[in-house]
Amino acid sequence: MSIQVDKVSRTFQGTLAVDEISFEAKQGEIVGLLGTSGCGKSTILRAISGLDTEYDGTVCIHGKETRGTSRELGVIFQEPRLMPWLTVIDNVCFGLTGTKEENREKAREILRVVGLEDFEQHYPKQLSGGMAQRTAIARALVTAPSTLLLDEPFSALDAFTKLQLQDMVLELWESYKPTMVIVTHDIDEALYLCDRIVILKGQPGELHDNLEITQPKPRKKSDTKLAELKEYILESLDISRTPKQRKEA
């Protein structure tokens, strides 16, 4: 499924938070929404997900204007949002419509993919942060949604778990190529995962750049082209200089 965001603006209590943002995620692309804090990345993702409908402009999913949630869209948030009274497997099954056995079979398959097959009877409080987030990823993926929206999915995790889960998401993407939009603050993460990076800047947030990243995946973290792109992004966001250097420029 492709996603077209066309001139989306959002005002909160009379204050413009994002101003006419437009971009496209083509079928099977991973698009990163990158920008400094408060520029409106999550606001845009909430408009795409349909969790927010009070925006101006349009969001089209596969060419059709949509406003509101859809089963075609899987959403993964920064925190796992698991139901504490349900086991791992029941959290993953929640929302599935098949028979109990069918649902459990599907859930077990995806729990194997995320490496949690031995923890299906655990409750959320018995899991580490990374395991809880893997459960949330399994829950979002169990319906094999054609589009996945991820709002800073790894930002609460330690550096090693974050790298592992980035690779896991890439492997899952390789397996059936869903369209993905991922909100991140992390330039390295965006350069590692994304086919396109949409850069927002300012308050209200405006579209600043739209970069296509053509390096084949999986990518080497040491790739010189990616290092050049990182420098370019840092400079364009004006964060490669100290406040003193900015003043002097």
Ligand X SMILES: Nc1ncnc2c1ncn2[C@@H]1O[C@H](COP(=O)(O)OP(=O)(O)OP(=O)(O)O)[C@@H](O)[C@H]1O
CB 72 within 8 A of CB 60: no
* Segment near ligand X (CB under 6 A); pick from 39-47, 58-66, 69-77, 125-133: 39-47
Q: Which is nearer to ligand X, 43 or 49 (CB)?
A: 43
CA distance 234 to 228: 10
> Which residue in 42, 103, 146, 166 binds ligand X (CB under 6 A)?
42
**What would the x/- binding string for ligand X be over residues 134 to 173, using CB under 6 A?**
----------------------------------------
> What burial letters (b/e) apply to 100-123, b meaning 16+ CB within 10 Å?
eeebbebbeebbebbebeebbebb
State yes or no: residue 37 binds ligand X (CB under 6 A).
yes
CB 166 within 8 A of CB 99: no
Q: Which is nearer to ligand X, 34 or 148 (CB)?
A: 34
CA distance 14 to 112: 48
* Segment near ligand X (CB under 6 A); pick from 33-41, 53-61, 122-130, 191-199: 33-41
CA distance 153 to 56: 26
Q: Which is nearer to ligand X, 16 or 60 (CB)?
A: 16
Q: Which is nearer to ligand X, 12 or 176 (CB)?
A: 12
CA distance 40 to 243: 23
* Residue 113 beta carbon to ligand X: minimum distance, rounded to whole angstroms: 28
Q: Which residues bind ligand X (CB under 6 A)?
A: 12, 17, 35, 37-43, 185, 203
